[in-house]
Amino acid sequence: MNYLFWALCALIIVIALLFVVLPLWRNSSRNNDVLRDAANLEILRDQVTEMDTDLRNGLLNQELYEQGKSEIKARLLEEVKATMQSVSQSSSNKILATSLAILLPVFSLSLYLYLGNYNAALPLDEKVVADSNGIIHSEQGIRALESQLKNRPEDPNGWFMLASSYIAKNRYKDAAVVYEKIVELVPDDAQVWANYADIYAMAHGKSLQGERVAGYLKKALVLDANNITALALSGTASMQSGDYASAIIFWQNLVSKMEPDSLGKQRFEANIQRASQLLSEQPGGNEKLARLMAEKNQAVAATAVSGKVALSPGLANKAAPTDTVFILARAAQGPKMPLAVFRKQVKDLPLEFTLDDTMAMQPQLKLSGFEQIVVVARVSKSGTPMSQPGDIEGMSGPIKPGTKGLKIVIDTVVP
């Protein structure tokens, strides 16, 4: 296969040379123009000889002789100049063609050796057959992949495939060894570190206890504090060690990012209830639970936005008392989906409001998840939060979550 690859490369270079070098060489090899110019020069010389004879024989007077001779000299100079240019151009084309014939292959090969990946020309062995999940099920295929990775140790995709294949066969110790290589190649991926913690635990008694597992999970959460796998495993590790309060914290953070009514969310909510029960049975457990709830409420309050909304007196006649008023927060930059929504009626204006994470329309989109937000107050004629022509609205500028004392006036008709 290596010979075939280089043969194809050589063929491509030859074809490229034929398109570039051959036309130059052909132009340089066209001697017809030079021969024609030489013949023209010979004709001019014969004409001069004939004029000399005609002058001696009295067929031409001196004036006509001099005039004809001047014309022939001028033509002679033009022919000599054209001949020299043709010879020069022919020589230049030959030099350029020869240079390209040498430099093009050398430059192409040098560029490939510098930028290319020679190992990429080596195909996977026919025995290495993976399914749609990137898992090799045959022992023969696994051995073939192991052999290939010895020649391609910098290929993370190959190592991922090998680790997945080991896991499918419950070879967790081998998978853990492979993941040690993967984290070297991909050190800044939170999911890789979370997977490494899980696999290392499976390879060592299926226990998440120990400094190494804790270190891998901590690394994952440092890279991505919202990584689902790391949060789930960290909660489980805390549960196994009897640290029920930490388990509750990790799992509460986890369920806040899961889809409502999903089976995963229901399972972890049940885990939180179990951890809360076990915590309450410990000495001082109820106090810890109360403190956790207070801390959760404080965290929500810390990012809450509050203020006052009023309707401009000049637009009071454009709104009915029963028209719906939406007060919502959305990201200053990013998705336009409301992060929190508060609903009232025009008759309630002016009113004070508070928006916080408990009002999120989607668990993964919350006030606390964005650095800057915008608060919009809108009188909706359609009764929906989406802006429609004829609605009346007012809004704040970009603010940080946790801003208090906002004052928003509904003073603009949506065109």
DSSP 238-294: HHHTT-HHHHHHHHHHHHTTSPTT-HHHHHHHHHHHHHHHHHHTSTTHHHHHHHHHH
Average of per-residue pLDDT values in the chain: 80
Which residues have CB under 8 Å from 270's CB, separation 6+?
none
pLDDT of residue 263: 84
Classify 350 in phi/psi space as left (phi over 0), alpha (psi -120 to 50) or beta: beta
pLDDT of residue 6: 64
pLDDT of residue 78: 64
Which residue would you say has higher pLDDT here, 74 or 247?
247
What's the pLDDT band for 410 if we cut at 50, 70, 90?
very high
What's the pLDDT band for 77 if we cut at 50, 70, 90?
low
pLDDT of residue 10: 72
User: What number is the average pLDDT over the span 111-133?
Assistant: 56
The C-alpha atoms of residue 259 and residue 366 are separated, in whole angstroms, by: 13
User: What number is the average pLDDT over the span 3-21?
Assistant: 67
| C-alpha distances in Å from residue 296, one per residue of 7, 214, 250, 256, 289 | 68, 24, 12, 12, 11
Take residue 392 and report the two structure tokens written for it.
């009346």
pLDDT of residue 125: 47
pLDDT of residue 87: 43
pLDDT of residue 90: 52
Residue 89 pLDDT > 60: no
What element of type H or E holds 392?
strand 392-395
Which residue would you say has higher pLDDT here, 41 or 124?
41
User: What number is the average pLDDT over the span 74-78?
Assistant: 61
Q: Report which listed range, 50-64, 163-177, 361-375, is most confident.
A: 163-177
What's the pLDDT band for 310 if we cut at 50, 70, 90?
very high
Which residue would you say has higher pLDDT here, 354 or 30?
354
pTM: 0.52
Take residue 151 and report the two structure tokens written for it.
């020649």
User: What number is the average pLDDT over the span 99-119?
Assistant: 62
Neighbours of 99 (CB within 10 A): 12
Which residue would you say has higher pLDDT here, 107 or 329?
329
Which residue would you say has higher pLDDT here, 13 or 317?
317
Residue 157 pLDDT > 50: yes
The C-alpha atoms of residue 175 and residue 160 are separated, in whole angstroms, by: 9
| C-alpha distances in Å from residue 217, one per residue of 26, 195, 207, 211 | 70, 9, 13, 10
User: What number is the average pLDDT over the span 403-413?
Assistant: 94
Q: Report residue 209 CA to chain centroid gap.
A: 36
Residue 124 DSSP symbol: P
Residue 351, helix vs strand vs coil: strand
Which residue would you say has higher pLDDT here, 2 or 362?
362
User: What number is the average pLDDT over the span 204-209?
Assistant: 89
Residue 222 pLDDT > 50: yes
The C-alpha atoms of residue 173 and residue 170 are separated, in whole angstroms, by: 9
| C-alpha distances in Å from residue 354, one per residue of 90, 208, 302, 304, 327 | 86, 41, 12, 7, 9
What's the pLDDT band for 40 if we cut at 50, 70, 90?
low
User: What number is the average pLDDT over the span 313-320?
Assistant: 91
pLDDT of residue 126: 44
The C-alpha atoms of residue 299 and residue 292 are separated, in whole angstroms, by: 10
User: What number is the average pLDDT over the span 276-296?
Assistant: 86
The C-alpha atoms of residue 337 and residue 332 are separated, in whole angstroms, by: 11
The C-alpha atoms of residue 164 and residue 160 are separated, in whole angstroms, by: 6
Closest-CA residue to 276 (of 285, 268, 263)? 285
What's the pLDDT band for 253 if we cut at 50, 70, 90?
confident
